[in-house]
Structures are given as structure tokens and as C-alpha cells.
Structure 1
């Protein structure tokens, strides 16, 4: 099916970008992982790898917004939600042999200075994450400004921790980052009280 082929290409690309980066992933790898004919890549993405990369960033990036709704929003309180979020990230790294982290940050680090359309796509995703996190944290009683600060703290802590964890093959950095974000959340809650 047409839709299935395109989705397989997008899913395979997201996984390969997450593991190998944008520049470390070839088009032949993508179509092989997607079990798709090579010509289908250019059928769905006539702009080639750059168009595919931009769509993967936007699609995969927006799927990560759902993690807030799945892991933090249902928590009985803000602190336990953040703890669950960082714990789940550590579990995912361990379960995947430290291969699956964030494809958005991986690509952003590679292309921010060399590819404007992909930089914009990563910036749009990070902006959407900050907006969604701000709205979600505000539901726990934080002001808009405090919720935004906490969201930026969470995103930067998480992404930095992923880099260290993948390099060191250890989840200590996620534990430390999670503790730091919990401390920031407690401080913001205390200031809001």
C-alpha cells in the first residue's frame, strides 16, 4: 500500500537518524530498513534526503510531545511525573543498548550550521515541545513563566543527559539530570505557593 510504504520509510529513517545521525544514514540503508523499492523514496520525497529528513524531524518530533501526556500529565503530582519521565528515558536507553535517544537533537547537532531547512525543522519541533510542556506544567499550578522555565530546564537536561549516557553507556547522567529538574520543579512550586 502507498501509505504503508511512505510510513515505513519515515519510521525507518527516524530510527536510523536516532541511531546513526542524519549524515551517517544513507538512502540505501533507509530503503533496505523500510523494505521499500529505492524509487519509492523519490516518489514520496522528490526533494531527496533533505525533504525526507525535514519530514522525519517534524513527524517524529511531534510524536515526542505525546510523552508528556503519557508520562507526566497522569501523575498525581508534578515531581512524580518528572521522575517517571526520566526513569522511562533511562529504561529506553538501556533496553536499546544506548542506541535510541532523541533523533531531533542528534540531527540538530549535525546540521544547525550547515542546513537551514533542517535547522528550522528542529527549531520548530523544540518550540512545539516548549509550548506543550509549558501548557502541561501550568496545569500543575505553575505560572506561564515558571512552566516555561521548567520546560526548558527539562528539555536541555534530558538532551544533555542523552549525550553523556550514550557515550558513557551508563544512565547516571539521566538520574542526575532528573534530580536537577525535580529540584527546579520543587523550587518553582514553592515560589508559586
Structure 2
């Protein structure tokens, strides 16, 4: 069955909220602006999101998480080593920054920094988003021979480093911080992968 009109409207609202968070921040995004951006009927926002802005923001964070998770998954399928996965992901992120003239950041980090101390709902959504990136990366590293605890620690470090590099790149209006992160992380990941392979002989 096709998507209903209501579902399409709801999806447009979430998409618009995500776009606006990336460019204006969560606090700088008003609900009227979201409705206008989505070309949605007036009143549709509270029909689909009766709990208001926090509920819509949480859905936008979930959408951002899903997109990044898909990027990592597709990069893993096209890569031979963990280091290559990270390089592919960072290449895409660097391209997005350049294409937006460094105006778009990671919406999950934006919402975390702005609202993490004020809204438990949004903090939980952001924590879930980060975990949804760390867990499959840890599983991927585990499949490449990393011990479980080490794989989780490394995956957490990779996600944290990439998030930080995006912020520094925006501040400096340069993708050099991202490129540096890619180079260092790729070397560390592939050295670990090589050591694991040697130990298995």
C-alpha cells in the first residue's frame, strides 16, 4: 500500500525540522518556520506531533541517526578494511560541509549541545542516535577480530573523533580537521586489524 497523505505530511515536517536544525540550530527553529518550510497545512504540526517541538525534534534526531547509520553500512559494504570505512564516511561528510559552505553541522551534536541539559527526551534521543552508530561499528570491528570490549571502545572513540572534527571543521571553515581525523583513525584502525590478523596465524 502507498503512503497516506498524513504520513507524507508527517515525514515532510520531520525532514524540515532536520534541515532547519542543521542550519539554524534547535533553539533557532520555530514551529511556524517548520510548517512553512514543509509546505504543510496550518495546524498539521500539532495534529501529527501533539506533544510539540520536543517530539518533532526527537523524530528529526532519529531520522539523522538513520541516515548516518545507512552511510556507515553502505561504506562498510564497499570497503575492505575498517580504515577504508572511516575514510569513505568522512569523505561524504566533508563533501556535505563544503556543499553547504560550512553552514550544516551534525544535527545530533547540535541538539545535544543546545538541549542535552534541558530536555531529557531530546538527550535520550541523542544518546540513542550516537549508540546506533557506535554499536554497529563495534560489531563490524568485532567481525574483523577485535575483542568485544576493545571494539566498543574503539567504535566510541571513532564516533567521538568524527563528531569533534565536524565541529572544528565548521569553526575553521576547512575540511582539514576532518581529513586529519580520517588519516589518523584509518591508520589506527588498520594497524589494529593487521595485528589481529597476525595473531590469528
Interval of TM-score (by shorter of Structure 1 and Structure 2): over 0.9
* Secondary structure of 1:170 counterpart: coil
Matches within 5 A, 1:22-171: 22-171=26-175
Task: Tell me if the contact between 2:87 and 2:186 (Cα under 8 Å) persists in the aligned partners.
Answer: yes
Q: Distance in 1 between matches of 2:145 and 2:175?
A: 30
- 1:112-132 Cα deviation digits (max 9, x unpaired): 111111111111111121111
* Secondary structure of 2:78 counterpart: coil
* Secondary structure of 1:38 counterpart: coil
Q: Distance in 1 between matches of 2:101 and 2:76?
A: 25
* Secondary structure of 1:25 counterpart: coil
Structure showing greater radius of gyration is 2
Q: Tell me which stretches of 4 or more aligned residues in structure 1 moved more than 3 Å.
A: none
Q: Distance in 2 between matches of 1:96 and 1:139?
A: 35
Q: Distance in 2 between matches of 1:162 and 1:38?
A: 35
Q: Distance in 1 between matches of 2:88 and 2:63?
A: 24
- 1:2-41 Cα deviation digits (max 9, x unpaired): 1111110010101111111111111111111100123000
Aligned residue pairs: how many? 193
Q: Does 1:175 align with 2:179?
A: yes
Q: Distance in 2 between matches of 1:157 and 1:122?
A: 16
- 1:50, CA displacement in angstroms? 1.0
Q: Which runs of 5+ in 2 are unaligned?
A: none
Task: Tell me if the contact between 2:81 and 2:190 (Cα under 8 Å) persists in the aligned partners.
Answer: no
Q: Distance in 2 between matches of 1:125 and 1:37?
A: 29
